[in-house]
Structure 1
Amino acid sequence: MNEPLFLKAVLQEKIWGGTKLHDVFNYDLPSDRVGECWSISAHPNGPSTVLNGPYEGMTLAEVWKEHRDVFGNVKGDVFPLLTKILDANDDLSVQVHPNDTYGLEHEGELGKTECWYVIDADEGAEIVYGHHAKTKEELESMIKEGKWTELLRRIKVKKGDFFFVPSGTIHAIGAGIMILETQQSSDTTYRVYDYNRKDDTGNPRELHIQQSVDVTTVPHVDAETGITTTQLENVEITTYVKTDFFNVYQWSITGNAVFEASAPYTLVTVLEGEGTLLVESGEYPLTKGTNFILPNDIKNWTIKGSLQIIASTPGTEM
């Protein structure tokens, strides 16, 4: 297949969601509490649908299962990556994700390592990233005693920041932050703390204390990213992280920028600007909020215009 797969995103309502996914990206929201846009997803809880070409109308999961050549005939039962845009109108729950071994054993799906690019953030907005417990026993004790101020490590963030969040990292996105998240294709989340909020039926939201203690890395260690920037003709490429799970890049394009494939396929989301994608099969308009995959048959492509793009590829173990 020598044309890109443009994808229809899936919008997820959340107790902490808002309207920025419409205000910023012009997505058509079902309510004023939409927290997540699953931009590129083959997960059963929100699979993207192909909008063009021979696979139009199929889900990404179906294309992965039935037409693996599109992805270079790579192995794997499930499409490994999931790209989201999150609008935190309110604080997200404090949570942690398992690694693959624990996730497969206890939940029947992959664990979740993820990373965040901060699209925008209100002045003074914060994330939870890590904790101050020195041992598992101290972690469990502080959780049970509700010592959240002493336990949780908070960091102020601004537009353009990037964070790598391996499985086992206690974390939460704070109110007033919009991020693009690249993650393993998993929906397993263990809630550690949720500010005593209630769900739509008036019941306290479920917590997963024992699982959280089981999977949290103690003591917390900041994940290394090794961010690098390369200037090529009409494009600045920032490499945010390269891991076994995914590689994540930003393409800052001004003019005509030529790319060569470095992986079996590439996931692309346009965050800012507009322009045109040129491949052998034709030209395709790009606007803010466009999501697509460059399949294995496309080895070279050109993007012209003024655009900010986040791209990702499968990691080194794929």
Structure 2
Amino acid sequence: MNSTPKHINKHNLQSKFKSYPLYFQPILKERIWGGEKLKALGKKLPSKNIGESWEISMIDTDVNVVTNGIYQEKNLAELIHLYPNEILGTKVYQKYGTQFPLLFKFLDAKTDLSIQLHPNDELAKKRHNSFGKTEMWYIMQADDDARIILGFKKDSSPEEYIQHLQNKTLPNVLQEYYVQKGDVFFIETGTIHAIGGGILLAEIQQTSDITYRVYDWDRVDDQGNERELHVDLALEAINYKNKDPKIQYQKKENEAINLVDCPFFTTKIVSLTSLYEVAKNSDCFLVYICTEGSAQLTANNETFQVQQGTTILVPAQLTNFAFTGNATLLEVFINEI
């Protein structure tokens, strides 16, 4: 969990918050399974195995820095410390304090990720003093026959799970989904899962980096070492029940259609072809992820460009704005506060 920044330079910051959409410098992460597809989203990759672009984060030292406007070069933690109500919203600040409660990423899986799961809030708090990790995926691009693993084919048990793990047959009892652009999946805590190779996706999750890895396809790194597994920790955290995590939805032009509505976040999809106007209160921030196309956001007589691969934070205090253009947008906020 993030603590209050120790040193904050208040010079050149107005005492009254200026509300405008905030853009951030992405934090790029090398991964054993990563590739180069994030280039298509405008990311400047330092190597050929970049698996993740953390778009908006306040996890430990991974805090994004603003790249536009008067708050340029200030990081998100600094700004929230100075302007918690204005950025987070009155109700979010009351519930979460100065912690930004969500993490936004793009992921490029060149090869399969490990089979893994995440603990719920109660277990994560007890073991790691962290939030749990409920998350969702929006598939932005998928190669032919690309698939994901999500949950058990049928109800299982700790005993059956351990037996398959020991026999290296765990994938045989897990359900696979072949995916294509626009598919949406909601991954509740405890759901055993893996992203397969050939997939580029947007991920929305609670602010947590707690992952229990249980099977890694017996692969090794450049030094011949296997990655750490967390089999014992996972036993109590796994949900052994069968469940269908795929979200069914129908797009409507220039309207926000509900995808996921859970206690931790609400995500809607906007199929923008002309105009989408927003008028809201100041209870909560909004985040927009552009997964396709390009658009313009107009607020307070200023225009901000949004294109595929852009993630922007609309502070809670900015209550009226509009999008024009032709794009697919994910709209994210916290509803149950």
- Give TM-score scaled by structure 2 length: 0.88
| Structure 2 residue matching 1:310: 3-state secondary structure | strand
Distance change (3 Å), C-alpha of 1:34 and 1:65: same
Is this contact kept in 2: 1:269–1:309, CA < 8 A? Answer: yes
Answer 1 or 2: which has greater strand percent: 1
| Structure 1 residue matching 2:214: 3-state secondary structure | strand
TM-aligned CA deviation for residue 86 of structure 1: 0.4
> Within 5 Å, which residues of 2 pair with 1:72-111?
72-73=89-90, 74-75=93-94, 76-77=96-97, 78-111=99-132
The corresponding residue for 1:198 is 220
Is this contact kept in 1: 2:150–2:245, CA < 8 A? Answer: no
Q: Which runs of 4 or more aligned residues in structure 1 lie more than 3 Å from their structure 2 counterparts after TM superposition?
A: 223-231
Instruction: Indicate whether 1:312 and 2:312 are aligned.
Output: no
TM-aligned CA deviation for residue 281 of structure 1: 5.1
Q: 1:152 aligns with which of 148, 167, 174?
A: 174
| Structure 2 residue matching 1:155: 3-state secondary structure | strand
Instruction: Indicate whether 1:114 and 2:131 are aligned.
Output: no
The corresponding residue for 2:273 is 254
Distance 1:45 1:198 in 2: 27
The corresponding residue for 1:178 is 200
Q: 2:31 aligns with which of 5, 9, 14?
A: 14
> Within 5 Å, which residues of 2 pair with 1:266-285?
266-280=286-300, 282-285=302-305
Q: 1:213 aligns with which of 217, 235, 242?
A: 235
Is this contact kept in 2: 1:89–1:176, CA < 8 A? Answer: yes
Distance 2:247 2:182 in 1: 15
TM-aligned CA deviation for residue 221 of structure 1: 2.2
Runs of 5+ unmatched residues, structure 2:
1-17
Q: What's the RMSD between the two structures over aligned residues?
A: 1.8
The corresponding residue for 2:68 is 52
Tell me the percent identity. Answer: 34
Is this contact kept in 1: 2:116–2:211, CA < 8 A? Answer: yes
The corresponding residue for 1:295 is 315
- Give TM-score scaled by structure 1 length: 0.93
Q: Which amino acid aligns with 2:112?
A: D
The corresponding residue for 1:245 is 264
Q: How many residues align?
A: 313
Q: 1:68 aligns with which of 77, 80, 84?
A: 84
Distance 1:84 1:315 in 2: 20
TM-aligned CA deviation for residue 228 of structure 1: 5.9
The corresponding residue for 1:27 is 43
Q: Which amino acid aligns with 2:190?
A: G
Q: Which amino acid aligns with 1:9?
A: P
